Amino acid sequence: MSYEKLVNGQPITLPDADVDYEVDIERIHYTAGTTGRPKGGVMTFGVFYNIVTNILINLDKPIGPEDIYLSVGPLTHAAGLMMMVYYSRGAKSIILPRFDPELVLETIDRERVTSVLVVPTMLAMILRSPRIHDFDISSVRRIWYGTAPMPVEWLKEGIKVFGSVFRQNYGMTEMAQPITFLGPEDHILEGGPSQLRRLSSAGKPALGVDLKILNENGQPVKPGEIGEI
């Protein structure tokens, strides 16, 4: 069904529905990664509102109607969440039926895409496309990445191709993300060991969350020690 047929004849008034942000369930979002049993994370409308708000308040550049966001992953995952963030700011969204490196590059060129979210393997496949230099990718102002560790060499290669447009968000299904992030200013290709080490990290704590790394006894761990968020 086309968009025009879907909206034709619909009422212009807002739906007559009251939502309790603290109680009413917006979704049950399942999380398991690749190693665990699926667990249903119950999200109220308030939790979802806080996720969108937290992403927006941790931006280094505002999102607006001039942005064009490209969804290349499943909308049940981070790609769909980020699409809702762009949608809430009036941006245009383009949804591809599947991930294909050449199709991504072609769409960026044709539609003048400004933002896209990728997982590390997607970035690697795009960078290895034999046709990467056949398309104009200069419109891209933000490449979001996350959901898995990003090899530093892939990230360095990506910065050389796309420029200083990369941003990592680290989060969890169960809470209002991002928990930590790496902004474009943190993506330093040259510098001392402490600066370069940032590229292999999950970033610094985000605004809007309280973060602790605890041991099995619930006590904070020291820098360099293993713990749990």
**Domain assignment of residue 41, given as a range:** 16-205
pLDDT at 151: 92
**213 part of a folded domain:** no
**216 part of a folded domain:** no
**6 part of a folded domain:** no
**210 part of a folded domain:** no
Please report, in tens digits, the pLDDT of each residue of the chain (229 residues total): 888 998 898 888 988 889 999 999 998 888 766 677 888 889 999 988 999 999 999 999 999 999 999 999 988 888 888 999 999 999 999 999 999 999 999 999 999 999 999 999 999 999 999 999 999 999 999 999 988 889 999 999 999 999 999 999 998 877 778 999 999 999 988 877 777 788 888 899 999 889 999 999 999 999 889 999 8
- Rounded CA-CA distance 207/225 in Å is 24
pLDDT at 159: 95
**222 part of a folded domain:** no
**76 part of a folded domain:** yes
pLDDT at 52: 92
- CATH number of the domain within which 100 lies: 3.40.50.12780
Q: CB-side exposure of 135: number of CA atoms within 13 Å?
A: 24
What is the value of pTM for the model shown? Answer: 0.88
Nearest to 180 by CA among 73, 76, 58, 41: 58
**229 part of a folded domain:** no
Number of domains in the chain: 1
Contact 64, 91 (CB under 8 A): yes
**85 part of a folded domain:** yes
Nearest to 143 by CA among 166, 126, 114: 166
